[in-house]
Structure 1
Amino acid sequence: MPRISKERQQDRRNSILAAGRMVLSARGFNDAAISAIAAEAGVSDGLVYRYFTNKRDLLIAVLADFYEGIIDNLEVILDQYDTFEERIRAIVYEHIARFASDKEMCELFLTEIRVSNNYRETEIFRLNRRYTSIVVRTAQDGLARGEMNPAIGPRLLRDMLFGGIEHFAWRHIGRGVAIDVDEGASKIAEVLLHGVCARSTPPNPPKAHTGK
């Protein structure tokens, strides 16, 4: 039997990943059969198992590919902004937008992976830390440039940003209600950046978002 090139192997793996994402998103983890994923990818069931140990292994690979994509995208977007406030607003917007555009992927992560006993041993945990560390680095840079309140630590900002958005987004996802990304991002960023106490003068309007 002729050997398959590394490029061909990668193409097959990518096809299975794409099919896995489609079927898992549409059916959920429990109802997504390997046979359905194989059929969508145009391969045999056995070939799926040559690349992935089981369905959970495939799910982790699908989510890892998803995470790597959003990390790369966010880092490109943040290069467009100069100030701490602009970057935090962009992060908030992008994170909420991801819940709105990729509801099924976010739901699979929250309900299937993060609650598992071995979550900290998975590639997803490492990628999640890499993703959330973007806020920590942004805050550290804001502190160094005197743009962030030194009484607020970078990790507290990280926890409030991601925890608050998850609670906000899950309330909508659980009810099947569409998320108003612009309104939600504007209000959450305002709370994070300027607090909730009334002021005598209104804050500056948020800079228009230009990221894709």
Structure 2
Amino acid sequence: MVEQTAVLGVASVALGMVLSPGPNMMYLISRSTSQGRRAGVISLAGVAAGFLVYLVGANLGLAVLFAALPGLLAVIRFAGALYLLWLAWQTIKPGGVSVFASRDVPPEPPRRLFLMGLMTNLLNPKIALLYISIIPQFIVLDRGSVLLQGTLLGCVQIAVALLVNLAIVLAAGGIAGFLADRPSWLRAQRLAMGSLLAVLAIMLAVVPQGATS
């Protein structure tokens, strides 16, 4: 069974990643600010469907892979740490563009909004590497079914991502207006999220397997 520390670890990583600028956030904000909250919620439903595709596909494959190559977990752990460090730099590096910047996008019908949200998530490298390189390092082979552990931890990630993204969708218009004339606030947010990701990366790299899980 999954331990509480593993749940908290995945939730922390998921929170840091969902709050860092990326394709999902940019798409949801652009839809919410240009077409309204309803369009943003429909788009988020498509993003949620993309999470489920990754959840099923990654865990079915990982259950078989780890059974055959248990030592691969250590390699994946360090790969996930390196990715988080790269993501931290992308978040805080100079010249970054605000995800709340005004964008002109044409209105779309609900079906297309859903499909665009789905495809944005399926083609999002952040989510692919999250399920392949980061979540698996919280799995402990002697704690029971790898498939069950991976599924439960994936559900934790999805819950965090959807709750945060829903809040962003509902508040996107107000946040965009607030930050329009406050670039220093935006820089502070990026610095805080980048620092959080860097700390998580170091923890994943230096804490032995099982201590974080």
TM-score, normalised relative to structure 1: 0.32
TM-score, normalised relative to structure 2: 0.32
- Which one has the bigger helix percentage? 2
Which structure is higher in RCO with an 8 Å CA cutoff and minimum separation 6? 2
**Which is greater in Rg?**
1
